[in-house]
Structures are given as C-alpha cells and as structure tokens.
A and B are shown apart, each in its own frame.
Chain A
C-alpha cells in the first residue's frame, strides 16, 4: 500500500497511531485468549447440536406433510366414533387394517384397536381377545376358566382409544408428550415421550401400551407410549380411519357430529349411543350401541 501523500491535509481530530499504542495493547485480545474463546464457542455449538440430537425436544416441528384437503380446519370439528356391538361379527379385519396402516407390531399383545368377545357359558360371562381378535375367534372361549364350556350366547366388542374429553393420560404425563389437538384428538409426541408408562396405568380403558422393539414400530421409536389416534393422518386429509373403512358390516361409524346433516350426527341423534364405563368420569368420545351398553 502506498504511503499517504504529505500534501494531503490531516484532519485535526485524528490522533497519531503511536499515541494510541498503549490503549490498543490494553484492549486487544491476546491470541491465546482469542483461540480459547473460539474453541469454547465451537464446543458450545457442537454440544448444543449433539444435545438437540440426543434430546429431540428442541427439534423443529414445522415440517408436517401438507393435508390432502387443503381447507382442513380443525376448529369446530366434533369427531365422533360410534361402535355397534350388535353388528360386529368378530372377523378381526379392523385389527389387521390398523396394524398395517399404523405399522403396529404383529404381536397380538400390542394393539391400537382390538376386539373382545363377551361369552356367556354356564351362567358366567367370560371375556377373551386372543391376539386382539386379529385372526378371528375360536368356537370356545380362551378366557381362563372357560375351557371346555359351551358358549350359550356372545357378542363382540371392538375397542380403541376413547379420546376422552377429561383424559387422565394428558394430565398425568410428566413431560407433556401426550397432548390434545385443536380438534380433540389425543396424540403422543414420539420425540418427547420418556416411556415412563404413567399414561398406560392411568388409562381406565387399557388403550395404551409401550411400543416394543419389534421389526415395525409406530413412529419408528421403540419404548414410547402408543395408542389409537383415530388415524389422525387420514381424517385430517378427509379420509376415514382404516378400521372404519375395512369393516364389512358397518359396525364402526365415524364422522363429524358438528355437521347436523352428517350420518354420524343423525345416528347419535336417533339412536343415542352411550359411552362405556361412564363411572370413570373421563367423558369418552367413542359411543356404543348394542349389547355392550345394554349389558352394562
């Protein structure tokens, strides 16, 4: 760089560099300190990145897939599920469809939806659900104590998450991983759930389980709480839940009861389906018709 011309006027406020040297020495950062600061900063960034991987609580959640129905508005929806236990034939198609749709393990012990058989034999009621009713039911009840007894009468009761309005699962979760959407569906945030099982023991309807490390696991995350979502990924795009779609006898009905002209609103209005076990006070949103509620 060329030296400044001596002809150029020097502004009066400019201070010669030599006079500033002591002050510059005082405020300048030594190389060692600068390197230390840089390494600390880098370490902090690396640590925060590692932490965000380890603890997915901080992950970005804004990349949800776009809905098929672009105008889907969760506000004002009153999703309602009605089960007609008088119609159910116990074929188990709903259970299979659910497992396929939601990547639930094929182990019969773990199910988002299942079918129970309430059988009367020798004057006593026996309840069984072999493999969640996935493969249908044998001629005799598999419930303990019912071996060899002839079934006099029976009905099938499809079960799933009741999406309770006063849901114990959401209030007991210690980390807010179980939450309610704007349209009233209770979901589990797979990135936040710690797998404590508190919601599993808090559910009076036995609708929850902790996902095993199987070949297939919902959300690809073993060890977290899982349950029926009424196929939220489908209903928010205008489709029916998988179990409703495959039921050959229409024992499972689903719709938005906020629309008074909908089939579900008419069904609720005309036949007054009832919740199971209202004594728990959780205000379930799955309603039943037929012997399920008549027996109770």
Chain B
C-alpha cells in the first residue's frame, strides 16, 4: 500500500483520495462488478444496515431489549461471541498445520485463514461489547484490577494477546517478513489452543451449572473450535474453487482435500464428545445434570439437538465426507456449511441447556424449565455480524492478493531432526567397534545435510 500524490495504491489498484474522484471511481467500480457480486454486497449491506440500529439500541445499559431474564442471563449474544471466538481459534489451529508444522498440503490455507481469523475475532469482541453493559469499564478494570481467580479474566487476556498476534501476523504476511510471520504464526497456534480452552473453562468451572461443569467442556470447546474453523475454511475454499478466484487450482488440488481430511477428523471428535456428554448426563447422579440432559434430548431443545445438531450438523456432513460419490469440492463445501451451522446450533443448545434446568428452585424460575427466546435485536445483531465478516472478507478477496506467494515461504524452526539426534547418539555398531579397539566413542559432528533451518 503506497500513496502517490492524491492516489492510494492498494494491491496495485489506484484509489483516488479526492472525495469527488473517489465517488466517481466507486461508481465505476460498482458498475464494473458482475451482477451476482453486486447482489451479494447489497444483501450483506442490507443486513448490516439493520444490525447497526439494533446495536445502538442494545448498547445502553439496562434497556432490556434482549430476550434474557434473571434466570436465563446468557443468551444469543453470548452464543455469537463464543461462536466467533472459537472459530477464530479453529482457523489458526487448522492453518497451523501448514504454517507451523510445515506440512505442505495444508499450506494453501495460510493467507485466507489469517484474514478470516482477524475478522472473526474483531466481530466476537464487537458482539461481547454489545452484550456487556459497560464494555469500557471491562478494558480498564481487567488491566488495573486484575482478577486471576476468574477464568473470564484469563479469557480476556488470551484473546487480547491473540488479537495483537493476529494483527502482526497479517501485517507480516502482506509486507514480506517471513521470519516475523513464522514467529507470529507459531504464537497464534499456541494461543489458538489456550484461548478456547479458557473460554471452555469459563463455563466448566461453574458448579452451579452441572451441564457445563467439568473438564470435558474445555475439550469440547477446543474440538468445536477446530471444527468450525476448518468448516469456515472449507466454505471459503469451495467458493474460491467455484468462482475461480486467486489460487483456484491450488484450492482444488491441495486445500479442499486437506480440509476434507481435517473436517472429518473434527466431526468425529466432536461427535464422540457430544455422545459422551449425553450418555454421562443421562446416567448422572446429579439430578440437575440429568434433568438438563433430559431437557436437551427429550425436552424443548430436542428438535434443535437431534434435527439440527446431530442429523444436519454431524451425521450428514460425515456421510458427505465418507461417501465416494460426494467426495467432491461441492460435497466438501456443503459438509463445511452444515458443520459450521451445527457448531453454532451446538453452542446455542449448550448455552441454553446449562440454564434451562433449575439447579435449585431458586429465583423466579418457572419450573420445570426456564424459557428464553431471542429478541429481534439479538437476531439482527448476529445476522449483521455474519454479514460484516462476509462483506469484509469478500472485499479482501476482491482487492487483496490472497494467492499464496513466496513472501511467507516455510521457515522451519530449528527443531532437531531425527537424523541429527541419531548422529549425536553412539550407534551400536560404532560402540562395538570402539569397544574392540578399547577407546571411547567420539561424538561425530552433525553433517551439514542433517541440519535443518534457514529460509
């Protein structure tokens, strides 16, 4: 990005800075767009236009425009925050296989994952700011009055670090700094595990909510993160392949098969964890846990759980990935869409099931279960958030160079290779030979070919 006179050069495209010229250029640009793209942008802008007033109404404290109640305090906005936050982590987890571990078949995920991760995380922060009644206090309170006993505080710390790392990662990626890019990718991958784990702990430490309580909540959160991040990449790369965008060939030959593999892995792990949750819940000694699980599988949440979560969100995607006839880019694209929708529904039923069953007959709970329906404001905000991510990413896809380049070639970390370790160890044959001549085994210096490192 450079500024030349009164023109901004962005990804090789001149953008006039004079308002009148800029408006004219914008008009010409819109006119030059394909009709489908214009429609796509119009739909997204429409959703954002509805979400903006909804967000303005939701921000003032205590206006009660959300559908939450004292007995059901966490609603759709918390679900949206959790969804976008874990998706961010999942994007880094999936892409780290290429960037951090240097596995070539996963390398095409790099640039797009970083853009998406940054967008998802900023969106998550935006949603949580709307759900909090005093978001500015949160920032200053968390810094000046740290509360290390609270998992929510740790979650803020890790996601804050994550945001900084992602910003540097994206910057280094587009400005050709391979070493910084490598380091930030590694940091992002580490944070991508810790951050959703602490997010899981936010729920997992609550003894008052037996459905959430326990270490498997952390495991399910990390696995869901991996699944949703991979699924989002699957949708994007299907679009890249279908619309012949930059790197379409690599998307078809490398990215989509890699995503198919990762998606299958994520779906299997999440399916096992969901099955475990239901089985343990139904046979639990804790009445509240049993009751919550019963309400999930045979109560008011049953249609969401079985219909949307299990069948459409798990069974159908697994079948699409497993059957030879649907092991195609479009099959992977549909499986990705269903999987990510399944993760969203899963977070929704998870948050709901934790609060729907009265842990005691306390408060004003209307036994036998608490009722929550999201308000139009909440729905508009979530749809607007999805539209924002889609719009910003579409703009990035159109105006930035997202094709893989040599700018971020694999820089292997100086991890000792097997050959190097072997070279440092005395071999059996050499030890036997040295024993025969009666001298100590000298340690051979590693040969240049056995040392990895360097770009």
Q: Which residues of B have CB within 8 Å of A174?
A: 138, 141-142, 147, 150, 152-153, 156
State the interface size on chain B (CB cutoff 8 A). Answer: 51
Interface status of A211 (Cβ within 8 A of chain B): yes
Known: A143-B367, A168-B208. A196 touches B64 (CB 8 A): no
Interface residues of A in 168-221 (CB under 8 A from B): 168, 171-177, 192-198, 200-214, 217, 221
A202 to B207: give the CA distance in the assembly, Å.
7
Tell me whether B145 and A172 are in contact (CB under 8 A).
no
Interface status of B113 (Cβ within 8 A of chain A): no
Interface status of B209 (Cβ within 8 A of chain A): yes
Tell me whether B366 and A211 are in contact (CB under 8 A).
no
Q: Which residues of B have CB within 8 Å of A55?
A: 136-137, 140-141
Interface majority SS on A: helix, strand, loop or mixed?
Answer: loop
Tell me whether A201 and B74 are in contact (CB under 8 A).
yes
Whole-angstrom distance from the CB of B274 to the nearest CB of chain A?
22
A118 to B362: give the CA distance in the assembly, Å.
11
Tell me whether A171 and B149 are in contact (CB under 8 A).
yes
Tell me whether B207 and A280 are in contact (CB under 8 A).
yes
Interface status of A285 (Cβ within 8 A of chain B): no
For B305-328 the 0/1 string (1 means CB < 8 A from A) is: 000000000000000000000000
For A104-118 the 0/1 string (1 means CB < 8 A from B) is: 000011110010101
Tell me whether B367 and A127 are in contact (CB under 8 A).
yes
Q: Which residues of B have CB within 8 Å of A114?
A: 363-364
Name which of B1-9, B171-179, B353-361 contacts chain A.
B353-361
Q: Which residues of B have CB within 8 Å of A58?
A: 144
Q: Which residues of A have CB within 8 Å of B147?
A: 173-176
Interface status of B134 (Cβ within 8 A of chain A): yes
Known: A114-B364, A144-B366, A174-B141. A204 touches B359 (CB 8 A): yes
Known: A172-B205, A193-B134, A198-B202. A127 touches B361 (CB 8 A): yes
Known: A55-B140, A127-B367, A176-B145. A195 touches B132 (CB 8 A): yes
Q: Which residues of B have CB within 8 Å of A277?
A: 360
Interface status of A159 (Cβ within 8 A of chain B): yes
Whole-angstrom distance from the CB of B355 to the nearest CB of chain A?
7
* In-complex Cβ contact of B145 among A51, A168, A175, A206 (8 A): A175
Q: Which residues of B have CB within 8 Å of A144?
A: 366-368
Tell me whether A206 and B138 are in contact (CB under 8 A).
no
Known: A196-B152, A210-B62, A222-B61. A129 touches B207 (CB 8 A): no
Interface residues of A in 210-241 (CB under 8 A from B): 210-214, 217, 221-224
A177 to B359: give the CA distance in the assembly, Å.
25
Interface residues of B in 54-113 (CB under 8 A from A): 60-64, 68-71, 73-74
Whole-angstrom distance from the CB of B347 to the nearest CB of chain A?
15
Known: A168-B206, A204-B208. A198 touches B150 (CB 8 A): yes
Tell me whether A198 and B152 are in contact (CB under 8 A).
yes
Tell me whether B209 and A201 are in contact (CB under 8 A).
yes
Tell me whether B208 and A211 are in contact (CB under 8 A).
no
Q: Which residues of B have CB within 8 Å of A196?
A: 131-132, 138, 152
Interface status of A145 (Cβ within 8 A of chain B): yes
Tell me whether B62 and A211 are in contact (CB under 8 A).
yes
Q: Which residues of A have CB within 8 Å of B142?
A: 174-175
A194 to B132: give the CA distance in the assembly, Å.
6
Identify the interface centre among B140, B145, B150: most chain A CB within 10 Å of its CB.
B150
Whole-angstrom distance from the CB of B305 to the nearest CB of chain A?
21
Interface status of B14 (Cβ within 8 A of chain A): no
10 contacts between A and B (CB under 8 A): A57-B144, A109-B70, A144-B368, A194-B138, A198-B202, A206-B363, A209-B363, A210-B70, A212-B64, A280-B208
Q: Give 13 new A-B contacts, CB below 8 A, not counting A205-B362, A213-B61, A224-B133.
A: A57-B140, A57-B144, A114-B364, A127-B361, A129-B364, A174-B147, A175-B153, A176-B145, A193-B134, A197-B68, A200-B70, A206-B363, A213-B62
A-B interface, 9 closest residue pairs, ranked by CB to CB distance from nearest: A223-B61, A222-B62, A195-B133, A206-B363, A206-B362, A223-B133, A213-B62, A175-B141, A204-B208
